[in-house]
Structure 1
Amino acid sequence: TIMANPGEITLVPLGPLTNVALAVATEPRIAENVKEVVLMGGAASVAGNASPVAEANIRNDPEAAHIVFHAGWPLTMVGLDVTQQSVMTQAYMDRLRGANNRWTDFIYAITKHYLDFYRGLGIDGMPVHDSSAIAYVIDPTLFETKHVYTDVDHQSQHHHGQTVPDWRGQRELEPNVNVCVDVDSERFLDLYQRRLSEAQA
């Protein structure tokens, strides 16, 4: 557990932050004992995918996200700004499948629907959301980040779930989030392919 292993455990939530918010509300000392939180969610400078301004994971429970963003732990937001830059095309997936192990076969099978969905929109490839957060934990140098004060709108109607970085420091509040703003997608996709291709059954 986090309390038994202070400074050693990284949390990587890949969905709405309900459980993480409940955990830190129940035991606030988690915030000072966790190594860091690296979440997949948010949209800092790009359009949302659940509303014009909000990313789906944050919008599904913005109240929980607000708690998590203000819990006081080291927090990195791997949002749509970077996850949409890394795209796995059909050709990429075919190369991945060529490794012919159970992991690459599994990934190929479960992403077919996702690829078909984007193909129906006239797009060859799918953005890589959740795996981007895992990649950050493995190799943070893949990403460019900015440490800024970031809030979550959990009250207004039209901006519900929007992540709002204070890029210019106009609110004069202490930075609380490392916001991923860019990614070396070529290196990331290479890392993904190598790790899965070399995985042992």
Structure 2
Amino acid sequence: MAKKIIIDTDPGIDDILALLLALSATPEEVEVLLISLTFGNIEVQNCLRNAVSMFHILEREMQWRRENGRPEGFGSLRACRPILAVGAADPLANQKMLADYFHGIDGLGGIHATHPHLTANKAWVHLFAETIEGGGIEPVEDCTGPNDHAFTPSKRPAYKEILRALRDNEPDTVTLVAVGPLTNLAVAAAEDPETFLRVKEVVVMGGAIDEPGNVTPTGEFNAYADAVAAARIFALTSPNPHTTVPPTTNDRLPPYPQKLSRQLTLRLFPLDITLRHNLSRGQFREAITPLLDAGSPLAEWVHAFMGHTFRTLERLHPGHVGDDAMLSLHDPVCVWYAMTSEDPKWVYSANSPEDIRIDTCGQWTRGMCVIDRRNRHRIEGEEESSSDHGLWLSGRAGNRIWRMDGSPGEENFGNVIIERLFK
């Protein structure tokens, strides 16, 4: 039976590769119910343009493949059109931070200016909603009428679509893959925590444990971009979420109920594992060149933004030059887990489930994954003691995070992406 997934994303270069990976699956492997968009790498309006342009390119690619006697591929997309919904434009708290220094202002290395023929016509804008002051998307009535696109547009905010998908499916049948800031998830969980907890598991790309951060010495981008949202979602893994949830004065969301029916299952993919899944410029060039020569629209589109990516990597990282430049496939590896989670080669950290908490207000440590590394005896009860501020040693408090530490084929994951998308 196909795995049902929701992808919450801020596309973004590696986000687009993650989406393409999911949509390239067979109908028996994956059914993408919903793609929910959030700010993150770029402003949410640019995320929407990139997602719609992706579907536009895929429609052209499948037509090109048919006309040239090639297998169409992207069976999951052909079998079920995902809903596309726009979500959070800003974090719950703290100043907004974007990653356009890496992805470009438009999220795809300036592709909409350099390759305008690859961008979807602006007629799609009316399918979603009107932009309101502050850069958000105003929720209005659902779309009705015929839709000839490869996606189903929604005028509901993304968090409501997440809750709708979880209500419409049996408990423990939908995996939510979150590869951007966790704002949409936090709003959905605050709105209706019991419906949110119907999810089978939440797969999160975020955080850094033993690796340094990528935006501060301790902070990974997604966790840093909305640390309060991340902390709130992590707290749902605790037997008592109030022991780790940040103070409600820090954001606009209400506290969770004192008693919830179950704990959230959260699989965390920090930089420690995602940095081991890479695609080199040499691998990419070798695969893409014959497809460019043959006229593949998808190859032309991906080649355009990947060229920007490898040039940026050369500028930012010593040693990343020429064919040896490596793009870390942070987000695709999370989608790959959702597609292949039954594979026994997926490995958790030795201490899983771990009490991992997100710092929300430190001057230098916002977004940091905090772990108790002390060698101390456990303490019974739920009351703080002078020797255990924060209830780190209590068996009835703290988060329960399943941290991923190994995958099937991490040495050749770049080839997995190439095979799935282009062969």
- Answer yes or no: same fold by TM over 0.5: yes
Residue 104 of structure 1 deviates from its aligned partner by 4.1
**TM-score, normalised on structure 2?**
0.44
Quote the Cα distance in structure 2 between the aligned partners of 1:167 and 1:136: 28
Q: Does 1:181 align with 2:405?
A: yes
SS in 2 for 1:11: strand
Q: Does 1:24 align with 2:249?
A: no
AA matched with 1:43 = A
Q: In proportion to residue count, which structure has more strand?
A: 1
Contact 2:234 2:399 in 1 (8 A): no
Q: Does 1:135 align with 2:336?
A: yes
Q: Which residue of structure 2 lines up, in the alignment, with residue 144 of structure 1?
A: 347
Q: Does 1:2 align with 2:2?
A: no
Quote the Cα distance in structure 2 between the aligned partners of 1:187 and 1:145: 20
Residue 188 of structure 1 deviates from its aligned partner by 2.5
Residue 130 of structure 1 deviates from its aligned partner by 1.2
**TM-score, normalised on structure 1?**
0.87
Q: Does 1:155 align with 2:361?
A: yes
Q: Which residue of structure 2 lines up, in the alignment, with residue 164 of structure 1?
A: 370
SS in 2 for 1:12: strand
Structure 1: stretches of 5+ with no match in the other structure: none
Q: Which residue of structure 1 lines up, in the alignment, with residue 308 of structure 2?
A: 113
AA matched with 2:369 = T
SS in 2 for 1:176: coil
SS in 1 for 2:333: helix
Contact 1:96 1:104 in 2 (8 A): no
SS in 2 for 1:3: helix
Residue 110 of structure 1 deviates from its aligned partner by 1.9
Contact 1:81 1:182 in 2 (8 A): no
Q: Which residue of structure 1 lines up, in the alignment, with residue 268 of structure 2?
A: 77
CA spacing shift, 1:25–1:89, aligned 2, 3 Å = same
Quote the Cα distance in structure 2 between the aligned partners of 1:116 and 1:107: 14
CA spacing shift, 1:102–1:39, aligned 2, 3 Å = farther
Quote the Cα distance in structure 2 between the aligned partners of 1:128 and 1:189: 8
Q: Which range moves more in the overlay, 46-55 or 161-170? A: 161-170
Residue 33 of structure 1 deviates from its aligned partner by 0.4
Q: Which residue of structure 2 lines up, in the alignment, with residue 57 of structure 1?
A: 222
Structure 2: stretches of 5+ with no match in the other structure: 1-164, 237-262, 377-391
Higher relative contact order (CA 8 A, sep 6+): 1
AA matched with 1:108 = H
Residue 164 of structure 1 deviates from its aligned partner by 2.0
Q: Which residue of structure 2 lines up, in the alignment, with residue 96 of structure 1?
A: 287
Quote the Cα distance in structure 1 between the aligned partners of 2:375 and 2:194: 28
Matched residues, number: 198
Contact 1:149 1:169 in 2 (8 A): no
Moved over 4 A (4+): 166-170
Quote the Cα distance in structure 1 between the aligned partners of 2:299 and 2:404: 27
Quote the Cα distance in structure 1 between the aligned partners of 2:290 and 2:340: 23
AA matched with 2:414 = L
Quote the Cα distance in structure 2 between the aligned partners of 1:188 and 1:38: 18
Residue 19 of structure 1 deviates from its aligned partner by 1.1
Q: Which range moves more in the overlay, 186-195 or 68-77? A: 186-195
Quote the Cα distance in structure 1 between the aligned partners of 2:347 and 2:189: 28
Quote the Cα distance in structure 2 between the aligned partners of 1:76 and 1:168: 24
Residue 22 of structure 1 deviates from its aligned partner by 0.5
